[in-house]
Amino acid sequence: MSHDALKQVGAVEGYVPPEDALTAPWWAATREHRLLLQACETCGSRQHHPRHVCTSCGATSLGWTSSAGAGVLDAVTVVHRPPRPDLQAPYVVARVRLDDGPVLLSSVVGTGALGAAIGDRVALTWRDLSDGRALPVFELEED
């Protein structure tokens, strides 16, 4: 994984804060390129980002389920003026509505990424961090 490839998604080595007790399983799964969603043990709702409570039913007993990683773009922006000088613009920031339910903030990378549009189907891929964790990002599905 090159430094330049990380820059494409707006992420930089060492910039992703460390996991905490709540998020450790989520980040551990990224090391194996698995995208976890939080799943409520009471009502079955799935949510992202991880929380200490289910926002659907209020239960505090929550587990994890794997996402199939397919979804559709819900909102898209191409950042041309990065918030940090170490980022290389332009790059895509988008909301991805997973077929599994929750919405994630992520990036669209790869062929045609800068032309990504709302309604486009996307599939999960990964950008590895130097500490062994990885960031989930998405590629446009070929039609």
Partner 1 sequence: MTVAIVGAAECDLGVTGAGVLELQVQAVTRALADAGLSLADVDGLATNNVGRFSTNEVADQLGLRPAWVDSTFVGGSAFEAYVGRAVQAIEAGQAQVVVISYASNQRSARSRSLGGVLEEHLPMAQFETPYGPLYPLSFYAMAASAYLHRYGLGREHLAAVAVSAREWALRNPAAYRYGAGPLTVDEVLAAPVISSPLGSADCCLVTDGGGAIVLTSAERARDLRSAPVRVLGYGEATGHATMATPDDILDTGAAASGAAAFARAGLGPDDVDVAQVYDSFTITPLLSLEALGLAEPGQAGVLAAEGAFAPGGDRPLNTSGGGLSYCHPGQYGVLLLVEAVRQLRGECGDRQVAGAEVAVAHGTGGILSHHATVLLGVDR
Residues interacting with partner 1, by CB under 8 A? Answer: 9-11, 15-17, 19-20, 23, 27, 48-51, 74-84, 87, 91, 93-95, 102-107, 117-119, 135, 137
**Dist. CA 24–CA 39, nearest whole Å:** 15
141 binds, among partner 1, Zn ion, none (CB under 5 to 8 A by kind): none
40 binds, among partner 1, Zn ion, none (CB under 5 to 8 A by kind): Zn ion
Question: To the nearest 10°, the Cα dihedral for 30, 108, 52, 44?
Answer: -90
**Dist. CA 58–CA 54, nearest whole Å:** 5
Query: Quick one: 52 exposed, middle or buried, by C-beta within 10 A (0-12, 13-18, 19+)?
Result: exposed
91 binds, among Zn ion, partner 1, none (CB under 5 to 8 A by kind): partner 1
125 binds, among partner 1, Zn ion, none (CB under 5 to 8 A by kind): none
Paired residues of 136 in beta bridges: 126
Q: Which is nearer to Zn ion, 47 or 106 (CB)?
A: 47
Q: Which residues of 72-83 are buried (b: 16+ CB within 10 A; e: fewer)?
A: bbeebeeeeeee
Q: Which is nearer to partner 1, 14 or 111 (CB)?
A: 14
The footprint of Zn ion (CB under 5 A) covers 40, 42-43, 45, 54, 56-57, 59
Q: Quote the least distance from Cβ 125 to partner 1, whole Å.
A: 14
